[in-house]
Amino acid sequence: MSLFEELHLSAPLASRLEEWGWEATQREVREAVATAARGNNLTLLAPPTPAWATPALAGLMSRAEARPCLLLAPDAELAEWAALAHRLAAGTDWRVLAAQGEARAVRLLLAGQVDMLLATPAIAMALVQRTALKMDTVRSLVLAGAERLDREPLDSLLADLPPDAQRLVVGSEAGGVLDIAERHARKALQLDLLSVAAPSDQPVRVAAVGWDRRAEAVGQILELLDPDHAVVWLASGASIPDLRRAVPALGGAVEVLTGDTPPAPVIIAYDLPTPARLQQLRAGGDVVLLATPGSDRYLPQLASARRAFRLPGFAERVRDVGDQRRRDIVRRMETGDLERGALVLAPVFERYDAVQVASALYELWQSALAMPAPVAAAPRGADPASRGAAEKARIWMGVGSRDDVTPGDIVAALVKEAGVDGSRIGKIEIRESFTLVEVPALEAEQIAERASQLTIRRRRVTARLDKGPTEGPRRGRPDRPERSGRPERSGRPERPPRR
C-alpha cells in the first residue's frame, strides 16, 4: 500500500497524483487528501490556480458517497477546473460534465448520467429552475475561487443544500473565503498555503495571459529572452503533456518540472506559486510569473515588487505577418522572372496608378490563398501518396452553432493553435452541436489529434476523424428539406382533387 492509499485515496487517484509529481509527505497533500477523503469539510487558501486544489479534489473523488457533486466556479475559470476534473476522472467511474449552457446539461442530469457537475452559479440556478438540478440531493459541494463567485445566486443555491453534504471552499483571499466558509462550511478544517512566508521583496516580472494562452506565452517568453538555459515550473504535472505539445521546442536547454527547481537564468512559473514556493524559485534565477484572469488581487500578496513583462499582442502579430509578406514580394522581384506579368499588366498601368494596381493584385493574392485549392482527379496509375494529397477527409469537432461558433473561430483555432496551414482547410459545415471540417486526407488524423487540444469559445474541444462521406449529409437520418406548402411525393403522380 502506497502512502497515498494510507490517506484513504483510491488506487487510480493515488497513481494519478504520483504521476503528476505530488508527494504524500507534503503538507498541502497530506492534510487536504486526508480531510476530503474522510468526508470532512475543508477550507483551502491557495493561489488562484486550480492545480493547487488537485489533492483535495482527488480526496473527494475517492469517496463513492460524494456523488452527486456540484463544483461552482467563476465563468473565466470554469474550463480550467473542468480540465482538472476530467484528468482526475480518467481511469475512474466518475462521469464529469462542465455545463457551458443548459440544454445538454438538462438532458444528462435528468437521465442520471452526471456524477460531478461543473457550472457557474448562474447556470446552476437556471438548471435548478428547470428542475434538472436538485440541490437537496447533492452530496458534496466545491466552491472554486469562492471569493470571485456571484454571491446572489450562490446564497439562493446553497439554501437547499443538505446540512450533512460535504463542503470544500477554495480561494486566495482570506477575508472573503473565511466569510463564505463561516456561512456555508462550518467546522471546516482550514489549510492555509499563503501565510507560510511573507511576500517577496525581490522584483519579479509578470506577464498577463489568458488561461488558454499560457503555453503560447511560454514560447513567446523563451523567444524574447533567448536564455541558454531555462526552467518552466508547474504546481502539478498534469499540464506537462499539453505544454510540451503546444511548445515543441521545449527540451534540451529547457526543463519542465514540479517541486524544487535548480538554478537557471530564467524560471517561468506556469502556475502561480505560493509565497514560499516563489522564494525558492527566486533564489534560483530571474522569475517570470504568468498572471491569469482573477489573479490581480493575489499578486500583491505574492510579491511587493512587480514589473510588467509585455508579450507580443495583436498589433505585433499583424506587423510580423505584414513584414513576412513584404519579404515574400521583394524576394519574388529579386529572384523571379517577371516578364510575363509585365506583359499582362502593361495596359493596366497605362490607365491606373501603380499603387492602385499593386493593391488590387495584393487583394487577389490574399483571396486566392484563403480559398481551398480545387481537388483535381488523380490520373490513372498515379502514385497513391499523390492521390492522397489531393483527396479530402473530414474531421468532427465537438462544438457547434449552439456554442456561437463561427467558421472564423474554427479557422483561427486550427491555424494559430493547431499549426494547420490555412490554405489546406476546405469546407466548414457547422451544425447545432458539432462541426465538420474538410482537410487533406493524409493529414486528417494528425489534425484531429491536434484539434483535440483546442479551446474554442471557452469550450474544450474533442475531435476525431469523421467516418461519413466527404460530400452530402452524414450517414443516418438525412437533413430534412425546408417545407413550403405541401411536400412533394416522389415516385407517384399527384391525385386529382376530390369532387
Least confident of 19-23, 69-73, 430-434: 430-434
From the list 453, 472, 478, the residue with the least C-alpha distance to 398 is 453
Q: According to the per-residue pLDDT averaged within each range, which of 204-218, 321-335, 458-472, 481-495 is highest?
A: 204-218
- At 377, is the pLDDT very low, low, confident or very high (cuts 50, 70, 90)? very low
pLDDT of residue 19: 93
pLDDT of residue 399: 87
392 touches 377 (CB < 8 A): no
Give the span between the Cα atoms of 88 and 65, in whole angstroms.
17
pLDDT of residue 384: 46
CATH superfamily, region 3-192: P-loop containing nucleotide triphosphate hydrolases (3.40.50.300)
Secondary structure class of 286 (helix, strand, coil): strand
Q: Where are the alpha helices (DSSP H) in 185-289?
A: 214-225, 240-246, 275-284
Secondary structure class of 124 (helix, strand, coil): helix
How many secondary structure helices (H) and strands (E) does the chain include? 19, 19
294 touches 76 (CB < 8 A): yes
In the predicted structure, residue 364 carries a pLDDT above the cut 70: yes
- At 371, is the pLDDT very low, low, confident or very high (cuts 50, 70, 90)? low
Strands (E), 24-124: 42-45, 69-72, 96-98, 116-119
Secondary structure class of 454 (helix, strand, coil): coil
73 touches 83 (CB < 8 A): no
- At 325, is the pLDDT very low, low, confident or very high (cuts 50, 70, 90)? confident
Q: Name the amino acid, one letter, at 338.
A: L
In the predicted structure, residue 306 carries a pLDDT above the cut 50: yes
pLDDT of residue 310: 86
pLDDT of residue 249: 67
Give the span between the Cα atoms of 170 and 486, in whole angstroms.
59
Mean pLDDT of 459-465: 85
Mean pLDDT of 332-356: 77
250 touches 256 (CB < 8 A): yes
The CATH classification of domain 389-465, taken from the options 3.30.70.330, 3.40.50.740, 3.40.50.300, 2.30.30.60:
3.30.70.330
- At 411, is the pLDDT very low, low, confident or very high (cuts 50, 70, 90)? confident
> What cell does 210 get?
489568458
Give the span between the Cα atoms of 188 and 44, in whole angstroms.
10
183-199 b/e (C-beta count within 10 Å ≥ 16 → b): ebbeebbebebbeeeee
Length of the chain: 499
Q: 115 to each of 51, 68, 92, 118, how far by Cα in Å?
A: 21, 5, 11, 10
Q: 99 to each of 96, 109, 168, how far by Cα in Å?
A: 10, 11, 20
What is the phi-psi region of residue 251: left when phi exceeds 0, alpha when psi lies from -120 to 50, beta otherwise? Answer: left
Express each pLDDT in 238-265 by its tens digit.
Answer: 988 888 877 766 766 888 999 999 999 9
Q: Between these two residues, 332 and 63, which has the higher pLDDT value?
A: 63
Give the span between the Cα atoms of 135 and 132, in whole angstroms.
10
- At 286, is the pLDDT very low, low, confident or very high (cuts 50, 70, 90)? very high
Cell 446552476 found at: 124
Secondary structure class of 84 (helix, strand, coil): helix
In the predicted structure, residue 342 carries a pLDDT above the cut 80: no
CB neighbour class for 476 (10 Å; exposed up to 12, middle 13-18, buried from 19): exposed
pLDDT of residue 317: 52
The CATH classification of domain 204-308, taken from the options 3.50.30.40, 3.40.50.300, 3.90.180.10, 3.40.50.150:
3.40.50.300
Express each pLDDT in 37-81 by its tens digit.
Answer: 999 999 999 999 999 999 999 999 999 999 999 999 999 999 999
- DSSP lists the bridge partners of residue 366 as none
**Residue 469: HSE in the Cβ half-sphere, 13 Å Cα cutoff:** 7
In the predicted structure, residue 315 carries a pLDDT above the cut 50: no
pLDDT of residue 247: 77
Cell 527566486 found at: 282
Between β-strands 69-72 and 116-119, what pairing exists: parallel, antiparallel or unpaired?
A: parallel
> Which DSSP category does 141 fall into?
E
In the predicted structure, residue 373 carries a pLDDT above the cut 60: no
Least confident of 24-28, 91-95, 490-494: 490-494
Express each pLDDT in 174-203 by its tens digit.
Answer: 999 989 998 888 889 999 999 866 666 778
Helix 121-129 to helix 103-110 angle, to the nearest 10 degrees?
Answer: 60
Domain ranges of the chain: 3-192, 204-308, 389-465
- At 499, is the pLDDT very low, low, confident or very high (cuts 50, 70, 90)? very low
Same fold, 204-308 and 389-465: no
Cell 463542503 found at: 167
